[in-house]
Structure 1
Amino acid sequence: MGDIVAALQSAELIPSVLPTPPKEKLNVVFDGINLEPGKEIPVRNLKNAPRVTLKCDPESTFSLIMIDPDNLSRKNPSVAEWLHWLVVNIPASNILEGINGGQHQQPYGSPAPGPRTGEHRYLIVLFEHQGRRLQVQKFNTRAKFN
Structure 2
Amino acid sequence: MPRERDPLVRGRVIGDVLDSFTKSINLSVSYDDTEVSNGRDLKPSQVVNQPRVGIGGDDLRTFHTLVMVDPDAPSPSDPNLREYLHWLVTDIPETTGAQFGQEIVCYESPRPTIGIHRMVFVLFRQLGRKTVYAPAWRQNFNTKLCGALQPRISSSRSLF
Q: TM-score with structure 1 length normalisation?
A: 0.86
Q: Percent identity?
A: 35
How far 1:140 moved relative to its partner?
2.9
Task: Specify the alignment match of 1:145 in structure 2.
Answer: 141
Q: Segments of 4+ in structure 1 off by > 6 A?
A: none
**Cα distance per residue 1:57-78 (max 9 Å; x no partner):** 2220110000000001111111
What letter is aligned with 1:35? V
Q: Name the structure 2 match of 1:18.
A: 18
**Distance of 1:138 and 1:8 partners within structure 2:** 27
Instruction: State the secondary structure of the residue aligned to 1:53.
Output: strand
The answer as to 2:121 corresponding to 1:124 is yes
Q: In structure 2, what residue type is equivalent to 1:73?
A: S
1:38 match: 39
CA distance in 2, matches of 1:63, 1:20: 18
Q: 1:19-41 deviations in whole A, cap 9, x for unaligned?
A: 02351441111121011110101
Q: Which residue of 1 aligns with 2:53?
A: 52
CA RMSD of aligned residues (A): 1.8
Task: Say if 2:93 and 2:101, in contact at 8 Å, map to a contact too.
Answer: yes
Q: CA deviation at 1:18?
A: 1.0
Change over 3 Å in CA distance of 1:97–1:2 after alignment to 2: farther
Number of residue-to-residue matches in the alignment:
139
Q: Structure 1 residues 2, 33: closer, same or farther in 2, change over 3 A?
A: farther
Q: Residue type matched to 1:74 in 2?
A: P
Question: 2:11 corresponds to which letter in structure 1?
Answer: A
Name the structure where strand makes up a greater proportion of residues. 2
Which residue number in structure 1 is paired with residue 152 of structure 2?
none
Offset at residue 102 of structure 1 (A): 1.9
CA deviation after TM superposition for structure 1 residue 79, in Å: 1.0
Unaligned runs of 5+ in 1: none
Inter-CA distance 20–86: structure 2 relative to 1 (3 Å threshold): same
Give the whole-Å Cα distance in 2 for the aligned partners of 1:65 and 1:86: 5
